[in-house]
Amino acid sequence: MANHHSAKVRIRRNARRAAINGDRLTRVRTYVKKVEAAIASGDKDAAQEALRAAQPELHRGAQKGVLHANTASRKLSRLSAQIKAMS
């Protein structure tokens, strides 16, 4: 257990940041799942719309440090390739 005042403040701050980062990551995953669901249903237009909505969320997650930048790029690339293969 922390004894110093600064360590106690740090624990509270880390807990707040962990909650915020968890929410951000959940939001990104939700958008990706929407794209994957649209791809699975076979609706190309819906998949493209979902990808357009997911793209800024993935980039924001990478910018905020929740995702690695390459991970976000890889996810976008693979999703767009799956949509392109639908035709």
pLDDT at 2 over 90: no
CA–CA dist 30, 25 (Å, integer): 9
Q: pLDDT band for position 39 (50/70/90)?
A: very high
For the chain, how far is it from start to end, CA to CA, in angstroms? 58
Classify residue 22 by burial, with Cβ atoms within 10 Å: 0-12, 13-18, 19+. Answer: exposed
Please give the residue range of the domain that contains residue 78: 5-84
CB atoms within 10 A of CB 15: 10
Q: What is the pLDDT of residue 78?
A: 97
Q: What is the pLDDT of residue 65?
A: 95
Count: domains in the chain: 1
pLDDT one-digit tens code per residue, 3-22: 999 999 999 999 999 999 99
CATH number of the structural domain spanning residue 42: 1.20.58.110
